[in-house]
């Protein structure tokens, strides 16, 4: 299996994280050295409470910048 990154205009999809059991948005953002706001901006499918991420899901981590994906 290969991770799937659904590109968003203005976001770099090369830095990703595969969600593991027990992960939460705060810990993922902290480990990636990004703000939670960046994590949410990169992954608009993730709700503000971060209750809809699941093991095996791939989320984008990189700082946003224009026209990369």
Residue 1 confidence class, pLDDT cut points 50, 70, 90: low
Residue-wise pLDDT tens digits, 13-62: 678 999 999 999 999 999 999 999 999 999 999 999 999 999 999 999 97
**All domains of the chain in start order, with CATH:** 1-69 (3.10.350.10)
Distances (CA, A) of 38 to 1, 2, 6: 27, 24, 16
* 23 close to 31: Cβ distance less than 8 angstroms: no
* Helix-, strand-, coil-residue percentages of the chain, each rounded to 5: 20, 10, 70
């Amino acid at each position: 299996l290969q991770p799937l990154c659904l590109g968003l205009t203005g976001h770099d999809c090369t830095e990703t994280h595969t969600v593991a059991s027990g992960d939460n948005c705060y810990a993922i953002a902290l480990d990636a050295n990004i703000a939670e706001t960046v994590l949410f901006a990169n992954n608009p499918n993730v709700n503000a409470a971060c209750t809809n991420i699941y093991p095996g899901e791939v989320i984008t981590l990189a700082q946003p910048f224009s026209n990369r994906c």
